[in-house]
């Protein structure tokens, strides 16, 4: 939400990857029963048992040449791909630590991009999944400082876990509160309703017209490069939630051995068996005042209420994984392109090329955002 004054605010965007995603996956991977238990586990773990860092991919010399720190997180759960270990072979503490860093860093990155687009320098964080937890606040603070190159600082609201309840109480009975009147949305948009679209005109294939563009390379992690001409390009930013994260988590949750097997599973699954939608929260009308139909994904893995992995179908878990991370990549690419003033986005990489399902999901996501 962008807040411009006392009582003056507007919801500008959101993400389906939040505390519900982190805790839902934590239940499945570690068997923890509460968020506090998950956080306690994460404090005793080492995320680098499962996570790939930049040095693991390019080596120290290449890191120095590109100006990247060797310890920078490159791909959350990326080491799982080349490991012969199964879920039971990993310590719950290490799994919890990897989950916490993966999703808090992602939330901080999206916050940085949105604040940058709006020209804002102050970012306040609240919500029931922060609730005074030092480890969560430390992770968000570190990541926001990293992404903004120390230009932004994370601040945290007191009693932030009760923000919604306090707001409802303060506005109760106030006839001026527009939030009490839900208006019908003029456009019914949803992740599932939005389809891929071909926006490439014939003359865009001409070399002189194609530049500049954003090149999004989806490997174990995600790298985003601004291309302004032939041989003229610069890496802008990256994301640690890429193909390695998708396949790493897929191996732990479904036991699949290849990306093709994972995609085949996802085709037969129903993500709504584990994903929380806007309709699950607000009812069949959704939240039309801010343009969120009932079918919009509110929290990936937000419906998970059991720590027993055997109670969920591998196909449904695969479908939810594909949705959550491809939509996230699409959202970040959209923000980066907007921030850089770019209208064309090209996607490539081992986790995209030739995989119709992946391309379709990214297209849907980009069209939605």
Q: Give the C-alpha separation, 356 to 152, whole Å.
A: 39
Q: What is the pLDDT of residue 184?
A: 31
Measured in whole angstroms, the distance separating CA 138 from the mean position of its chain's CA atoms is 19
> What pLDDT sits at residue 212?
97
Q: Compute the residue count for the chain.
A: 369
Q: What are phi and psi of 364, to 5 degrees?
A: -60, -45
* The pairing of beta strand 2-5 with beta strand 297-299: unpaired
pTM: 0.88
**Among the listed residues 107, 90, 16, 18, the one whose alpha carbon sits nearest the alpha carbon of residue 51:** 90
The tokens 């699949």 sit on which residue?
256
Give kind and range of the element (H or E) at residue 238: strand 232-239
Closest to 212 (Cα-Cα) out of 361, 358, 336, 365? 336
β-pair partners for 235: 225
**The two structure tokens encoding residue 68:** 């990247």
Angle at CA of residue 244, ends 142 and 278, nearest 5°: 70
Domain 1-50+90-168+275-307 is classified in which CATH homologous superfamily?
Answer: ATPase, nucleotide binding domain (3.30.420.40)
Q: Enter the DSSP assignment of 292.
A: B
Instruction: Please indicate whether the domains covering 1-50+90-168+275-307 and 209-270+312-368 agree at the CATH topology level.
Output: yes
Q: What strands lie across the sheet with 222-229, from one edge to the other?
A: 232-239, 222-229, 213-218, 345-348
Third-level CATH fold of 209-270+312-368: Nucleotidyltransferase; domain 5 (3.30.420)
Instruction: Check if the beta carbon of residue 236 is closer than 8 Å to that of residue 224.
Output: yes
Q: What are the boundaries of each domain within the chain?
A: 1-50+90-168+275-307, 209-270+312-368
* pLDDT given for residue 11 in this prediction: 94
In the numeric block, which tokens belong to residue 192? 């599932």
Instruction: Write a three-state SS string for 97-149.
Output: HHHHHHHHHHHHHHHHHHHHHHCCCEEEECCCCCCCCHHHHHHHHHHHHHHCC
Distance from C-alpha of 252 to C-alpha of 256, rounded to nearest angstrom: 8
> Tokens at residue 211, please?
């530049």
For residues 26, 32, 36, 39, the Cα torsion angle rounded to the nearest 10 degrees is: -50
Burial of 20 (0-12, 13-18, 19+ CB in 10 A): buried
Could you write out the DSSP letters of every residue in 20-74?
HHHHHHHHHHH---SHHHHHHHHHT--GGGT-EEHHHHHHHHHHHHHT--TTSEE
Per-residue pLDDT of the chain (369 residues; tens, 9 = 90+): 999 999 899 999 999 999 999 999 999 999 999 999 999 999 999 999 999 998 888 777 656 666 667 788 999 999 999 999 999 999 999 999 999 999 999 999 999 999 999 999 999 999 889 888 999 999 999 999 999 999 999 999 887 777 778 878 887 765 444 443 323 333 333 333 333 333 344 344 566 689 999 999 999 999 999 999 999 999 999 999 999 999 999 999 999 999 999 999 999 999 999 999 999 999 999 999 888 999 999 999 999 998 899 999 999 999 999 999 999 999 999 999 999 999 999 999 999 988 999 999 999 999 999
Query: Which residue, among 218, 324, 322, 309, has the nearest Cα to 268 in the 3D structure?
Result: 322
């Amino acid at each position: 939400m962008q807040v411009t004054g006392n009582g003056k605010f507007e919801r500008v965007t959101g993400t389906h990857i939040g505390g519900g995603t982190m805790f839902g996956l934590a239940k499945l991977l570690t068997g923890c029963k509460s968020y506090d238990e998950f956080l306690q586990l994460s404090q005793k773990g080492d995320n680098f048992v499962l996570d790939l860092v930049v040095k693991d991919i390019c080596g120290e010399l290449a890191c120095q040449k590109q100006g990247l720190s060797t310890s920078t997180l490159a791909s959350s759960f990326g080491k799982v791909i080349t490991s012969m270990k199964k879920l039971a072979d990993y310590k719950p503490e290490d799994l919890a630590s990897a989950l916490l860093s993966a999703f808090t860093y992602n939330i901080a990155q999206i916050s940085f991009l949105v604040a940058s687009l709006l020209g804002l320098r102050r970012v306040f964080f609240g919500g029931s999944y922060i609730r005074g937890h030092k480890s969560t606040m430390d992770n968000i603070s570190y990541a926001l400082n990293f992404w903004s190159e120390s230009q932004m600082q994370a601040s945290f609201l007191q009693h932030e876990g009760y923000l919604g309840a306090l707001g409802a109480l303060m506005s109760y009975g106030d006839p001026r509160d527009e939030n009490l009147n839900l208006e019908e949305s003029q456009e019914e948009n949803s992740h599932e309703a939005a389809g891929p679209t071909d926006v490439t005109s014939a003359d865009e294939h001409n070399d002189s017209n194609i530049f500049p563009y954003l090149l999004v390379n989806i490997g174990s992690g995600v790298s985003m490069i601004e291309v302004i001409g032939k041989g003229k390009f610069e890496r802008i930013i990256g994301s640690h939630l890429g193909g390695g994260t998708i396949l790493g988590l897929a191996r732990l949750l479904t036991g699949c051995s290849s990306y093709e097997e994972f995609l085949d599973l996802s085709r037969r699954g129903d993500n709504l068996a584990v994903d929380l939608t806007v309709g699950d929260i607000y009812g069949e009308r959704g939240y039309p005042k801010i343009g969120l139909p009932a079918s919009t994904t509110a929290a990936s893995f937000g419906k998970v209420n059991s720590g027993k992995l055997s109670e969920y179908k591998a196909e449904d878990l695969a479908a939810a994984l594909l949705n959550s991370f491809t939509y996230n990549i699409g959202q970040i690419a959209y923000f980066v392109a907007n921030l850089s003033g770019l209208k064309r986005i090209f996607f490539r990489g081992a986790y995209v090329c030739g995989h119709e399902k992946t391309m379709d999901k990214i297209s849907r996501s980009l069209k939605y955002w």
